[in-house]
Homo-oligomer: A and B are copies of this chain.
Amino acid sequence: MNTENTPEIDIIKASQSKISQVDFDNLTFGNTFTDHMLVCDFKEGQWQKPVIKPYEPFLIDPSAKVFHYGQAIFEGMKAYRDANNQVWLFRPDQNMDRFNKSATRLAMPEVPKDIFIGGLKQLVALEEQWVKGGKGNSLYIRPFMIAVGSGVIAQPSTQYRFMIILSPAKSYYSGEVKVIIAEHYSRAANGGIGAAKAAGNYSAQFYPTKLANEQGFQQIIWTDDATHTKLEEAGTMNVFFRINDTLITAPTSERILDGVTRKSLLDIAQKEGIQVDVRSLTVDELVKAAQDGSLKEMFGAGTAAVVSPIKGFQYQEHYYELTPQDQPMALFLKEKLTNIQYKLEDDPFGWTVHV
């Protein structure tokens, strides 16, 4: 018996499904949830028995540490339905590993594989009718962990709750994205938690992003906080630059998230013979490349949008618009990646996992 797939889980089924009320053609990202969720509590030093139960609000103490000291981490993943009606996950081990690295960095307990992957598979299998077929459709998976122990003293909690919730998603079109290079605000410190998928990192971005929106830019390209000279991330995504025919992205670090889409695109690019250069691109280099025409593309990469092409960027009061490419590398890589995810092409990397 493969215990990874079959942890002992109590299942309490919803009395009726909400699925018939959902308009799958008009989904707003992250707003609709399936009938069930997975809940697993950590207390007295160990993980308790997981339960799959109806999706619903839960009771929590006003002094729960998540509200006061921000111990909260998450992952973003997707399940896909192929043409043969089979449901697949994409590199779930990578998300689990990153989740547990985030947990360690926030002094939270690691979630064992039989709960994270095993529980996830059972939950997705139960909700499989929510995974709609057709490229672009997916079931967005949100595992997260919060500190539920009570007490307003700044110390790690002794009680945690791990949950998985599921949200059906359409292909995510981010529109024509114009970005602004950060010259003052930043998302992560050296020696900080920028590499963790920690809730606190996101709230820090909202205000600077609001200011950018007011200036007509959809996202910020984050730079290193000390010098604002190195290009690091795009909004909540990793960022790629194509200069001539070389694809450049920053190396992962304490400040930069080890994105699953990022690393998958790098692997695909290398396999396809595209020149890849994993290094910090500087703002000066970017401006120079925009001026001399060697900057062909910029795009964000992440689970929700897969690839989000950037139309142009603003730096020091000057806007640089990119010339549209006939055969954008961004779309080629996106096509390759999603073809693997939807089983439309071979998966030479062994990334897809059957539910």
Contacts from A to B (Cβ < 8 Å): 28-31, 33, 37, 55, 57-63, 66-72, 74, 76, 104-107, 140, 142, 144, 146-147, 150-156, 163, 165, 167, 182, 184-193, 198-208, 210, 225-228, 235-236, 304
Copies of this subunit: 2
Docked CA distance A185–B194 (Å) = 12
Residues of B within 8 A of A226 (CB): 190, 225-227
Contact (Cβ within 8 A) B203 A198? yes
Please determine whether A204 and B106 come into contact, CB atoms closer than 8 angstroms.
Answer: yes
A206 contacts across to B, CB distance below 8 A: 69, 71, 106-107, 155-156
Min CB gap A161→B, angstroms? 9
* A235-B153 Cα distance, complex, nearest whole Å: 12
A152 touches B106 (CB 8 A): no
Which residue in chain B gives the minimum CB-CB distance to A302?
B154
Do residues B29 and A153 form an inter-chain contact, with CB atoms below 8 A? Answer: yes
- Contact status A104-B189, CB under 8 Å: no
A69→B189 contact, CB < 8 A? no
Give the Cβ gap from A137 to chain B, nearest Cβ, in Å.
17
Return chain B residues, CB-CB under 8 Å to A227. Answer: 226
Contacts of A146 in B (CB 8 A): 67
In the bound assembly, the distance between CA atoms of A156 and B63 in angstroms comes to 22
Please tell me if the beta carbons of A207 and B104 are within 8 angstroms of each other in the complex. Answer: yes
Complex contact A57–B67 (CB within 8 A): no
- Complexed CA–CA distance, A150 and B30 (Å): 9
Q: List 10 A-B contacts (CB under 8 A).
A: A63-B165, A67-B144, A70-B199, A106-B203, A107-B207, A154-B236, A185-B192, A190-B226, A191-B208, A198-B203
Q: Which 8 A-B pairs have the closest CB atoms?
A: A200-B200, A70-B199, A189-B189, A226-B226, A107-B206, A30-B152, A30-B153, A69-B202
Interface pair B107/A72, CB less than 8 Å apart:
no
B193/A204 in contact, CB under 8 A: yes
Given contacts A63-B33, A165-B63, contact A192 B198 (CB under 8 A): no
Cα of A189 to Cα of B184 in the assembled complex, Å: 11
How many Å lie between the Cα of A28 and that of B150 in the bound state? 12
Q: In the complex, are the beta carbons of B186 and A190 less than 8 A apart? A: yes
Contact A66 B225 (CB under 8 A): no
Chain B residue numbers with a CB within 8 Å of A165 are: 62-63, 152
Known: A105-B207, A204-B193, A236-B154. A67 touches B199 (CB 8 A): yes
